């Protein structure tokens, strides 16, 4: 049991930056929040499970649909002013973030339905707790759409959506509890053009072989990765493709099967293949359709995927050794044999924002001589772990009312987040230590995999969608929402950090 005096001190509002401060005895906040949650969570669970993006006007919430010029963004606002609060007093402001988009082809395999539910539940609980304990504050929720593709938090940041709020809280479901940084990311959208279809496929695969070889020798930065995505069919830059097809002309089905079987080993997790005669191709020789299947997953995992197996097959068929002369084969994309243009996205990640430009240049220098153009999307800066709040959250979640859970503080960055644009972290250019941030952003990741057994998967794997629909996942989301609601009063007692511009790629 933590010392009561410590949390009375932490959770008592202090006069900071001219804001109103009323002390309150919050020693029973954990049990009070549990009681409130039993009342409001079932309704919010229904909203989250159905992935709705609106929240009805009740409990004195002001609802702004289509916020900041985005048709599916929204904003909720409420405040609590006890009778003793001066009418014009400036209140502390607590912000919660909600995401709700799915993934192409695999739905809520990143669990954003739980981020929506968590944000709504934590905000409503925080507001109820403020009223219950007579503590003045304002609560804001911003719904951020299309996080997987357009990075709406960047657009919302540019529109001032996060201005005037002292601290922003959100929690992301995954396969393990952790308080950790998130990496910097940019996509190099690379176009290849050829004299004809087979020419462009060869060019693209030559570039893919080159990038794989150079990445294996080392990439600039810390824990950097470069993962290719073939822009064909249903694809997204942050999802490992679970199915890739490569057509091969000038060889036989048996030869392809034997070759691919010799390449495929246990370093390709969950990968299988089918090689069959392609009777739909118009090429004059024997045509083989090599289709490779895998479990998919998050681009940050950098595993040997179906695309990697086709790259290594291409390498083997186009390489020449004394014992294995080069085979005169050509390559095509089954079902798409007329296009002379092929796009490949290189998903580039690195731990620290200052290294992102170097990793991008590394890729550009490799593929520029072969490609016809390279463009980039908006870079994601890294999210850094700020002090103070992680330790308080750890203490909260370790209580029996929250399942006595451990939330270790880690230095490993598993993925990227648009919340980094809100934070605007500035790091030391030599040590990469956090110097300051534009805003306080707390972004714990929480496990929705039942520790007592059952299925588990990582984000962007198709099975994670099933995990995100289990009763345990909703129960865990409720616990974490309560934890964030209990953390909220402590969050707004923190001094607001100096404003600093969001890091940009130069």
Q: Which residues contact 504 (CB under 8 A, 6 or more apart)?
A: 379
Are the beta carbons of 125 and 137 closer than 8 angstroms?
Answer: no
> Can you point out the beta strands (E) in 310-467?
330-332, 341-350, 373-376, 425-427, 434-437, 440-442, 445-447
CA distance 99 to 104: 16
Compute the distance between CA of residue 271 and CA of residue 159 in angstroms, rounded to an integer.
44
Handedness of CA 321, 326, 327, 329 (dihedral sign): positive
| CB atoms near residue 411 (< 10 Å) | 10
Residue of 476, 490, 395, 486 whose CA lies nearest to 118: 476
Give pLDDT, residue 49. 43
DSSP string for 247-294? EEESS-HHHHHHHHHHH--TTSTT-EEEEEE-TT---SS-EEEEEEE-
Nearest to 55 by CA among 131, 119, 151: 119
pLDDT tens digits for range 442-484: 999 999 999 988 789 888 888 888 999 999 999 999 999 999 9
> Is residue 434 within 8 Å of 386, Cβ to Cβ?
yes
Q: What is the 3-state secondary structure (H, E, C) of 40-80?
A: HHHHHHHHHHCCCCCCCCCCCCEEEECHHHCCCCEEEEEEE
Distance CA 401, CA 483 (A): 10
Tens-digit pLDDT profile for residues 371-421: 999 999 999 999 999 999 999 999 999 999 999 999 999 999 999 999 999
Nearest partner of 477 among 76, 148, 113, 178, judged by Cα: 113
Q: What are the backbone angles phi and psi of residue 185, rounded to the nearest 5°?
A: -150, 145
Strands 62-65 and 74-80: antiparallel
Q: Could you tell me how far CA 148 lies from the centroid of its own chain?
A: 7
Q: Strands of 336-406 (E only): list them.
A: 341-350, 373-376
What pLDDT score was predicted for residue 300?
65
Judged by DSSP in three states, 357 sits in: helix
482 Cβ contact list (under 8 Å, min separation 6): 30, 33, 34, 37, 121, 122, 125, 401, 402
Distance CA 278, CA 271 (A): 21
Q: Which residues of the chain have pLDDT under 50?
A: 1-18, 22, 49-56, 496-506
CA dist 152 and 75 (Å) reads 14
How high is the pLDDT of residue 502?
38
Contact 65, 74 (CB under 8 A): yes
Sorted by where each starts, the structural domains of the chain and their CATH numbers stand as: 4-181+382-491 (3.40.630.10), 184-376 (no CATH)
By the 8 A CB rule, do 22 and 13 touch? yes
Q: Which residue has the tokens 């709040």?
A: 389
pTM above 0.75, yes or no: yes
Task: Sort 17 into a burial class: Cβ within 10 Å, 0-12 / 13-18 / 19+.
Answer: exposed
How many beta carbons lie within 10 A of that of residue 28, not counting itself?
A: 11
CA–CA separation, 346 vs 106, rounded Å?
A: 21
pLDDT at 101: 79
pLDDT at 57: 54
In sign, the C-alpha dihedral spanning 146, 442, 496, 32 is positive
Q: What is the pLDDT of residue 506?
A: 32
For the record, the structure tokens of 77 come out as 């606002």
Burial 423-442 (b: 16+ CB within 10 A, else e): bbbbbeeeebebeebbbbbb
Please identify which residue in the block is written with the tokens 């695969």.
205
Looking up tokens 């002013």 gives 81
**211 alpha carbon, distance to own chain's centre:** 24
Please calculate the CA angle 303-307-312 and round it to the nearest 5 degrees: 90
Residue 292 phi, psi (nearest 5): -115, 135
């Amino acid at each position: 049991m933590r010392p009561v005096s410590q949390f009375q001190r932490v959770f008592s509002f202090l006069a900071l930056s001219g804001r109103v401060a009323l002390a309150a005895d919050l020693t029973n906040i954990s049990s009070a929040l549990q009681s409130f949650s039993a009342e409001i969570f079932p309704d919010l669970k229904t909203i989250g499970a159905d992935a709705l993006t609106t929240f009805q006007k009740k409990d004195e919430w002001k609802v702004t649909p289509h916020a900041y010029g985005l048709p599916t963004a929204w904003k909720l606002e409420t405040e609590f002013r006890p009778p003793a609060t001066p009418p014009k007093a400036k209140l502390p402001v607590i912000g919660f973030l909600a995401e709700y988009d799915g993934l192409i082809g695999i739905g809520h395999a990143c669990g954003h339905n739980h981020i929506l539910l968590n944000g709504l539940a934590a905000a409503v609980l925080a507001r109820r707790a403020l009223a219950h304990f007579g503590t003045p504050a304002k609560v804001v929720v911003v719904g951020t759409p299309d996080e997987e593709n357009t990075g709406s938090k960047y657009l919302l940041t540019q529109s001032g959506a996060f201005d005037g709020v002292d601290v922003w809280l959100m929690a992301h479901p995954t396969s393990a509890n952790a308080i950790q940084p998130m990496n910097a990311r940019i996509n190099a959208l690379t176009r290849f053009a050829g004299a004809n279809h087979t020419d462009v496929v060869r060019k693209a695969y030559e570039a893919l072989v080159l990038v794989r070889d150079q990445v294996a020798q080392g990439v600039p930065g810390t824990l950097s990765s470069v993962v290719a995505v073939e822009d064909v069919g249903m694809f997204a830059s942050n999802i490992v493709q679970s199915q890739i097809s490569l057509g091969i002309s000038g060889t036989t089905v048996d030869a392809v099967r034997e070759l691919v079987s010799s390449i495929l080993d246990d370093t390709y997790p969950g990968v299988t293949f089918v090689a069959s005669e392609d009777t739909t191709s118009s090429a004059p020789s024997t045509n083989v359709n090599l289709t490779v299947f895998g479990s998919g997953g998050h681009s940050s995992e950098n595993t040997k995927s179906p695309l990697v197996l086709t790259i290594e097959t291409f390498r083997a068929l186009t390489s020449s050794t004394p014992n294995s002369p080069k085979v005169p084969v050509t390559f095509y994309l089954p079902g798409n044999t007329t296009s002379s243009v092929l796009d490949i996205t290189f998903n580039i990640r690195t731990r620290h924002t200052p290294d992102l430009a170097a990793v991008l240049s590394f890729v550009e220098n490799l593929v520029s001589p072969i490609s016809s153009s390279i463009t980039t999307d908006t870079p994601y800066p890294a999210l850094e772990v700020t002090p103070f709040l992680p330790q308080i959250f750890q203490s909260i979640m370790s209580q029996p009312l929250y399942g006595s859970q451990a939330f270790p503080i880690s230095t490993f960055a598993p993925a990227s987040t648009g919340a980094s644009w809100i934070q605007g972290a500035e790091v030391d250019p030599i040590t990469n230590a956090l110097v300051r941030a534009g805003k306080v952003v707390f972004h714990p990741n929480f496990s929705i995999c039942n520790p007592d057994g059952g299925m588990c998967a990582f984000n962007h794997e198709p099975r994670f969608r099933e995990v995100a629909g289990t009763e345990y996942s909703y129960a865990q989301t409720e616990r974490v929402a309560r934890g964030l609601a209990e953390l909220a009063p402590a969050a707004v007692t923190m001094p607001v950090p100096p404003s600093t511009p969001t890091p940009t790629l130069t």
